[in-house]
Amino acid sequence: MLNIRDAEINPIGLGTWNIGENKSTYQNEVDAIRYAIDNGVYVIDTAEMYGNGKSEEIIGHSIKNTIGKSCILSLKYYLKMHQKRKF
């Protein structure tokens, strides 16, 4: 669990609701996320429904090699996407 009392958190985060929607190239989306991280934005908000899960894949690829930097991922789960499943 993150102890936010000891962490300096930038008040600006990156919302990724539009990532993975085929409105840009895969590489442009990776570059945008890396640019944000390189410039001090390391809180990234996503959900499995963003781009039908593609957003999370692109974020994973983007942060994979961000050596020496940490990211905080804010994740959401949309139950209606899985209503057919029995939990």
Compute mean pLDDT per 10 residues along the chain, 87 residues long, and list them. Answer: 62 90 91 92 89 90 81 78 55
Instruction: State how far the Cα of 16 lies from the Cα of 1, in Å rounded to an integer.
Output: 23
Instruction: State how far the Cα of 84 lies from the Cα of 86, in Å rounded to an integer.
Output: 7
Instruction: State how far the Cα of 73 lies from the Cα of 32, in Å rounded to an integer.
Output: 16
52-61 pLDDT per residue, tens: 889 999 999 9
Please tell me the pTM assigned to this model: 0.76
Catalytic residues: 50
What the block records as the tokens of 50 is 């963003």
CB 55 within 8 A of CB 16: yes
